[in-house]
Amino acid sequence: MSNNMYKQTPSQTVGPYFAYGLTSEQYLYDFKSLANNELVSIDDDSITIRGRVFDGEGNVIPDAMLEIWDNQNNLFGRFGTGTEKDKGFVFKTKKPQSIAGNAPCLSVILFMRGQLIHSYTRIYFSDEVTNATDEVLNQIDNDRRRTLIAQKKDNYYLFDIHMQGDSETVFFDI
């Protein structure tokens, strides 16, 4: 239980200038990075996930940072949306397995200037039959469920994130 002595430290925005501290190598700063966007070495098992983050007017957000966490494979990645040509993100990782009828997914933590507190979402995959039986997906209205599902393309999965609007991504309270 919380009491007055140990109140949670309030969150503040990551701001626009995180790159040389949190994603230094990606942005070519001279400081070793703790994590990057290649969670596995590239081989037959690896998948690529790409996407962009959009604001309420449909503009691409070029200064967001994503962290992805795969507890099944113990993989963590971090990437800022400022260095790709399309100001998107890209991760190379492997696909987790379905467990107990629940669909494989990755946890996402999203930070950006203009967010006073980070957002949590998940990446599911369009080519998984277990999406139909997944407990979390099933608690979400049909029309919003698709915002959590990365669409399989030729050689990558597409996962766009919309902060607002009709396609607003489902964000979780965890």
User: Which residues of this protein are in contact with other proteins, per CB under 8 A?
Assistant: 1-3, 5-22, 24, 27, 29-32, 34-35, 55-57, 59, 61, 63, 67, 69, 71, 74, 76, 82, 105, 107, 109, 111-120, 136, 139-140, 144, 163-164, 168-174
Quick one: what does residue 150 bind among Fe ion, other proteins, none, with the CB cut-off 5 to 8 Å set by partner type? none
**CB of 3 or CB of 41, closer to other proteins:** 3
Query: In the complex, what is the shortest distance from the CB of residue 158 to other proteins, in angstroms, rounded to a whole number?
Result: 20
Reduce the DSSP state of residue 45 to 3 states and report it.
coil
The C-alpha atoms of residue 132 and residue 63 are separated, in whole angstroms, by: 34
Quick one: what does residue 84 bind among Fe ion, other proteins, none, with the CB cut-off 5 to 8 Å set by partner type? none
Q: Say if CB 120 and CB 69 are below 8 A apart.
A: no
Q: How many CB atoms lie within 10 A of CB 102?
A: 15
**CB of 114 or CB of 153, closer to other proteins:** 114
Quick one: what does residue 153 bind among Fe ion, other proteins, none, with the CB cut-off 5 to 8 Å set by partner type? none
Using rule CB under 5 A, residue 15 touches Fe ion: yes
The C-alpha atoms of residue 52 and residue 50 are separated, in whole angstroms, by: 7
Query: In the complex, what is the shortest distance from the CB of residue 37 to other proteins, in angstroms, rounded to a whole number?
Result: 14
What dihedral angle (degrees, nearest 10) is formed by the CA atoms of 70, 150, 141, 113?
A: 70
The C-alpha atoms of residue 132 and residue 9 are separated, in whole angstroms, by: 39
